[in-house]
Structure 1
Amino acid sequence: MQDNTNSTRNLDALRIIAACAVVILHYSDYVKDTQVGQFMVAHTWHFNLFVDLFFVVSGFVIASQYLGRVGDPMSIGRFLWRRLARIYPLHLATLAFYVALALALHFGIARTDNTARYPLSDLPAQPLLLHAIDGARLTFNFPSWSLSAEMFCYVLFPLIAITVTRNKALIIALVVLPALANSAYAAATGTGSWADWINKGGAFRALPAFNLGVACYLFRDQIARWPVIPGAVTALLAAFILAGSWLPEMADLIVIYAIATLAIQSDCTCRDTLLTTFGFDRWSSLTYSCYMLHIPVATIVLTFGARDLAPHLPGGRLTLIPVAIVVLAIASLASLRWFENPMRRYLNDAFDRRIGTRRPVAVAARPDTRR
């Protein structure tokens, strides 16, 4: 079968939709004292599982680009550096924003009702991307926990790649065993569903999803031969969005895995869905920017801005939600064009100059603009 893994249009469409859903989830919390906000909070809590879709997509794309290319220390170092070059600059920039805010709070220059969110004691874990393993709580730019979880998967990827190169069927065990281990630990400790792990255990929550993405890449030919159900991706996605709040978390997680797998099937057979017909995939390059910047924008517009503006607006803080979304869109475009892309190119070129090698052609031909 022809390898069509260069087509990820449906996965790209899902990524930007997932990022927008996470924004809706978090922005709803800022207006939970209104009827609209209460409704949104009650019916969008399951949107947090869209982060698991990111992990599946990440596993698929990383496998498509690097499987068979991380067999020695030099190639592993190049792989990890390129992943850091993609995610670290914006993480560090948003962390610096909140560190500056924490210092302003400490010296009485600014004030907040949630001082526990800015503890300087949590700083060591944040720059080291360790806060999804055993973080004390969600702090600073808290969506960055998923970057820590992804980095955990990236570090393990060379071992995963070596394992499945010898026997690709072993990837099934690498999906099932971490999921079973998570379930056993959750049951033994009474911590609840592992689909809810974030700062404590978020890295282990990500691993089954990431490995599922790798598995989908390895078995893409078989997935492409599955019976085609027209409209399945869109219908299942719509059902999840509208009715997912009535399902248990683990059931929702399985639905997310199914949505990602069906999107991969569509991409492997180069089939359009309503997601690509409406052009959602065209905005996928903004996924990471939107995801990482939506909380800093909310801090500026919905927290600090609302103190002066909300009392004078008919809908109060609710009226500022569209303003925050517009600001987020502009900030995301600016960040991608003038900060993230230049920094990624600079860091990758610096690494290549340091080791005296060129970027592999296959990777250079497909710029990584994933979240």
Structure 2
Amino acid sequence: MLQTRDSTRHLDGLRIIAAGAVVILHYSDYLKDHSAGRFVFEHTLHFNLFVDLFFVVSGFVIASQYIGKVESFPAIFRFLGRRLARIYPLHLATLMFYLAIALAFYLGFAKTDNPARYPLSDVPAQLFLLHAVDGQRLTFNFPSWSLSAEMFCYLLFPLVALATKRRRMLVVALVILPALANSIYVAAAGTEPWAEWINNGGIFRALPGFNLGVACYLLRDQIARWPVSSRAFTLSLLAFTLFGWLLPEMVALVAVYTIAVLAIQCDYCGATTLLTRLRFDRASAYTYSCYMLHIPIATLVLTFGARALTDLPGGKLSLLPVAIAALAMASFLSYRFFETPLRHSLNEIFDRQLPAHRSIAATSSSEGAR
């Protein structure tokens, strides 16, 4: 059965796969004391680049909803307010969770093997979503660095939309130039590849991927006409998942970008693949919840739980199914009963504070994506 041309089932399916890949990488890191955990961790290090796939998907989704609708200051403020309403409540909740742990640690009620995880000096950057600019690496709920990076892209999006309004092909330069600037800086400063930038420079890592997503939306009709078999998407995703750890980091990043573009090509040419037949897209609404909650769940189950059950056969490894089940349940509950109601309430507040703008308000019902 062919998909409709406005379907994004491949992109939606990729989102939940990417979130699952990040969970596998981080949970195997918790289990490195076991040979199985160590083996998985060593062969899934490339899964960290699935975060860059999020940036591409985010750029595509934002462009599809807001191109042509952020041309006035009230519209821009409403757009930014809606993005904050989507990402900030769960970020704040997970930050408060780790601040409670930090407080217990500093007051002597608890102990930790990693006190560097809880620097109070990093709290302002976390609160204001600046920790992908100048934050400390891997603190508190550390995957949230990507929210800071995305917020930077959201702030620039109205300029991108304005720049490409009359000259659509200019968006290609907005992909190439940030990537080129990042590469020049790496060569000149001798830093690690920019695909590894997180808390220092994560905003610049996100920009090429986000703009690539915008470009794919603007050029979607051309992409749909590419003479590429849908099998290329399936094979590239499988190959990257299984063998991406063999690739140099920047080559692996290009592979992730390619997978995202091929997914868009499949969506817009109406292809059906193994991914859509398995209906991974049905779980895509829980992507953000899963991504943001998997480390707090690991802290509760794989750290605190393992300490409390020291005589448990297999130790942390035997608690892995518990962590996965808890994550699935927490993601469902968070999305349905915390994130969604809060998002709607905050959107109503923004709408009351700003003059009515029909084209922006119309996107409210479709903003469940990350």
TM-score of the superposed pair, with normalisation by structure 2: 0.97
Separation in 1 of the partners of 2:169 and 2:185?
A: 25
The Cα of 1:335 is off from its aligned counterpart by: 0.3
- Contact 1:65–1:362, Cα closer than 8 Å, also in 2: no
Separation in 2 of the partners of 1:187 and 1:135?
A: 23
**Counterpart residue number, 2:331:** 332
Gap change, CA 1:340 and 1:303, over 3 Å in 2:
same
Gap change, CA 1:35 and 1:359, over 3 Å in 2:
farther
**Counterpart residue number, 2:218:** 218
**Counterpart residue number, 1:139:** 139
- Contact 2:21–2:47, Cα closer than 8 Å, also in 1: yes
The Cα of 1:356 is off from its aligned counterpart by: 4.6
**Counterpart residue number, 2:257:** 257
- Contact 1:5–1:64, Cα closer than 8 Å, also in 2: no
The Cα of 1:228 is off from its aligned counterpart by: 3.0
**Counterpart residue number, 1:313:** 312
5+ residue gaps, structure 2:
none
Separation in 2 of the partners of 1:4 and 1:268?
A: 8
Deviation sequence 1:17-51 (CA, Å, 0-9, x none): 00000000000011101110110111000000000
Q: Supply the AA of the counterpart residue of 2:311.
A: H
> Mean alpha-carbon deviation: is it higher for 323-332 or for 269-278?
269-278
Q: Supply the AA of the counterpart residue of 1:228.
A: V
Alignment of 1:99-178 (within 5 A): 99-178=99-178
Deviation sequence 1:269-307 (CA, Å, 0-9, x none): 222211111010000000000000000000110111110
Separation in 2 of the partners of 1:362 and 1:220?
A: 22
Query: Percentage identity across aligned positions?
Result: 66
Gap change, CA 1:294 and 1:334, over 3 Å in 2:
same
- Contact 2:5–2:269, Cα closer than 8 Å, also in 1: no
Separation in 1 of the partners of 2:124 and 2:230?
A: 49
Alignment of 1:1-371 (within 5 A): 6-309=6-309, 311-357=310-356, 360=359, 362-365=362-365, 367-371=366-370
The Cα of 1:334 is off from its aligned counterpart by: 0.4
Separation in 1 of the partners of 2:173 and 2:56?
A: 16
The Cα of 1:359 is off from its aligned counterpart by: 5.5
RMSD: 1.3
Deviation sequence 1:179-236 (CA, Å, 0-9, x none): 0000011111111210111111111000000000011011101000001313221111
Gap change, CA 1:328 and 1:163, over 3 Å in 2:
same
Q: Supply the AA of the counterpart residue of 2:108.
A: G
Separation in 2 of the partners of 1:50 and 1:109?
A: 37
Deviation sequence 1:50-99 (CA, Å, 0-9, x none): 00000000001100100011011000001000000000000000001111
Gap change, CA 1:362 and 1:182, over 3 Å in 2:
same
Q: Supply the AA of the counterpart residue of 1:197.
A: W
The Cα of 1:164 is off from its aligned counterpart by: 0.5
Separation in 2 of the partners of 1:231 and 1:60?
A: 22
TM-score of the superposed pair, with normalisation by structure 1: 0.97
Gap change, CA 1:175 and 1:302, over 3 Å in 2:
same
Separation in 2 of the partners of 1:182 and 1:243?
A: 26
Q: Supply the AA of the counterpart residue of 2:188.
A: A
Partner SS, residue 258 of structure 2 = helix
Separation in 1 of the partners of 2:267 and 2:173?
A: 25
- Contact 1:122–1:136, Cα closer than 8 Å, also in 2: yes
Gap change, CA 1:359 and 1:335, over 3 Å in 2:
farther
Runs of 4+ aligned residues of structure 1 deviating over 6 Å after TM superposition are: none
The Cα of 1:314 is off from its aligned counterpart by: 2.0
- Contact 1:9–1:276, Cα closer than 8 Å, also in 2: yes
- Contact 1:240–1:255, Cα closer than 8 Å, also in 2: yes
Q: Supply the AA of the counterpart residue of 1:56.
A: V
Separation in 1 of the partners of 2:6 and 2:275?
A: 18
The Cα of 1:362 is off from its aligned counterpart by: 4.1
Separation in 1 of the partners of 2:329 and 2:95?
A: 20
5+ residue gaps, structure 1:
none
Gap change, CA 1:306 and 1:267, over 3 Å in 2:
same
- Contact 1:237–1:259, Cα closer than 8 Å, also in 2: yes
Count of residues paired in the alignment: 367
Separation in 1 of the partners of 2:5 and 2:215?
A: 13
Separation in 1 of the partners of 2:178 and 2:238?
A: 29
The Cα of 1:111 is off from its aligned counterpart by: 1.0
Separation in 2 of the partners of 1:349 and 1:330?
A: 28
Separation in 1 of the partners of 2:230 and 2:237?
A: 13
Gap change, CA 1:21 and 1:166, over 3 Å in 2:
same
Q: Supply the AA of the counterpart residue of 2:242.
A: L
Separation in 1 of the partners of 2:297 and 2:81?
A: 28
Q: Supply the AA of the counterpart residue of 1:207.
A: L
